[in-house]
Amino acid sequence: MKYSEFIDELRPLLDEAHSLFDEDQTHQSPRFRKWRHQLTTTISIIENLGYTVDCDIASRIFQVASYGSVSKNAQMAAYNRELQDTINEMEIIIEYFDKYGDPKISSQAAASDDRAEKLEWPTKMTLSWLFNHAPIKLWLQFGGILITVFLLGVGFAQTRAYKNIEQLWHHEQPHNKHIDEPNPQLNHDASKSDAPVS
C-alpha cells in the first residue's frame, strides 16, 4: 500500500466519522465498532510499512472509565470528545498529505529493511557465521543461559538430595576388589579346552 492509497482509504472514514456523533449505544454501536476496526486496520497496515501515523485511536476507550455508575450524559460526552479528537487527528493527517505529499519512512524502519536485504543466509550455518552476524544480544542471552545452568548445577550439587542420590549410586555399584584381575576359574577351564586330546 502506498501512502497516497492510505489517504484515499482515510478520506471516506473521516466523512463517516462525522455521522457517528451522539450514537445511542456510544462505543458499543455496531456501526461505530466497524468504523473503528476499519480505521485501526488501515493505520496498522501503513505503520507496518514504516510510516508513523499520529493517531491514538487504538488507545482510546470512547467512554468514561469509572468503578461507579456514570450517567448516560457523561458517557455520551466522553464518547463525543474522543471521537472529535480522532477526527481532528485524521483531518491533520490528510491536510499534511495535501500540503507536503508523502512523508518519509522512519529512519529506523528504512535501516532495518536495508540490513535485512543485505544479509544473505548461508547454505550451511556455522558458529563462525553466527559470531560475525548474530546480534550481541543473542550472545549475551546464550552466555547468561550457560552461566545460569552451571550455577544451578553447582547449587544442586550442594543439596542433600544430590548427596542422597550419590550415596544410592555408590551402594548400587559393586565394589569388587578383584575386578581387574583375570578370573582364575575361567583361565583354568580355557587351558583344559586347549589341551590336546589323547
CA distance 46 to 76: 31
CA 171 to the chain's CA centroid: 49
pLDDT digit string (tens) for 138-184?
889 989 999 999 999 999 889 998 888 888 888 776 655 555 555 65
Give the cell for residue 91: 483531518
Which residues, in sequence order, are CB contacts of 76 under 8 Å at separation 6+? Answer: 22, 26
Domain residue spans of the chain? 3-106, 127-172
Q: What DSSP string describes 78-120?
A: HHHHHHHHHHHHHHHHHHHHHHH-SPPPPHHHHHHHHHHHHPP
C-alpha cell at 170: 555408590
Q: What is the DSSP letter of 59?
A: G
pTM comes to 0.55
- Which of 14, 20, 28 has its CA nearest to residue 61? 28
Cell of 132: 560475525
Give per-residue pLDDT as tens, 98-123: 999 988 876 665 555 555 566 677 78
